[in-house]
Amino acid sequence: MPHKLPRGLYALLDDSVRAELPMMEKARAVIDAGVGVLQLRLEQTADRVALPLIREVVALARARNVLVIVNDRVDLALAGGAHGVHLGADDLPVDVARQLLGPDALIGATCRSLEGIEQARVLGADHVGLGPIFSTTTKRVSHAPLGLALFETIARKAPLPVVGIAGITLENIGQVAAAGAWCAAVAGDLLRSEDLVSRARALQGAFSGTR
């Protein structure tokens, strides 16, 4: 599978959302649903537990042509054999991550503005997470929501594919797609569903307009 971020739902698997549900079960559900890319956010998981988990998810995902991205942790992405990493403002710089992970790795960077996206491109990012679009309860974010109008203004001018982030649900994911998002990252609305497979398929369908 080419190292290219597939368009559509970007499943954000957070270990703090429905913590009672094993991460492997979350991953298997979205893979079974046909999602093209998933991110592992393992902030509550010890490294010694996270590493074999990442390797297990990657093995299952590769068999199904699904991309696996690790949030924040370049070391765990590298050791776990993931397809790439997503970096926030407090993580390793994009250019350093590129040196460590190599030219084929997928590297995403969180950005809040068009200028930030342009800088991420110069440093070697493949795509960016742009937001928060809406308010969110999944992760503490100090920045005010951009709103759809400003998100669209930035996304339409962005030199990299844009992943919309924060507060995205089945009800608004179609609007995010229409505003220029290449992908839409969803955590809470997906993981809090009783049926993750069906919810992931519904989110993907709503993004692509086939709901």
| pLDDT tens-digit map of 177-195 | 999 999 999 999 999 999 9
Q: What is the pLDDT along the chain (211 residues), one digit of tens a residue?
A: 345 899 999 999 999 999 999 999 999 999 999 999 999 999 999 999 999 999 999 999 999 999 999 999 999 999 999 999 999 989 999 999 999 999 999 999 999 999 999 999 999 999 999 999 998 766 666 678 999 999 999 999 999 999 999 999 999 999 999 999 999 999 999 999 999 999 999 999 999 985 5
In a domain, 22, yes or no: yes
In a domain, 159, yes or no: yes
In a domain, 125, yes or no: yes
For residue 57, the number of C-alpha atoms closer than 13 Å in the C-beta half-sphere is: 33
In a domain, 1, yes or no: no
**Number of independent structural domains in the chain:** 1
* CA nearest neighbour of 64 among 96, 35, 84: 35
In a domain, 3, yes or no: no
Radius of gyration of the chain (CA): 16
Going from the C-alpha of 107 to that of each of 37, 75, 99, 162, 192, the distances in angstroms are 13, 13, 11, 12, 27
* CA nearest neighbour of 159 among 202, 109, 203: 109
Going from the C-alpha of 115 to that of each of 53, 59, 130, 154, 194, the distances in angstroms are 36, 37, 12, 9, 40
CATH of the domain at 24: 3.20.20.70
- Per the CB < 8 A criterion, the answer to whether 7 and 181 are in contact is no
Q: Which residue pairs, CB below 8 angstroms and at least 24 apart, start in 107-113?
A: 108/5, 108/69, 108/84, 108/163, 110/86, 110/165, 112/143, 112/146, 113/154
Residue range of the domain that includes 97: 8-208
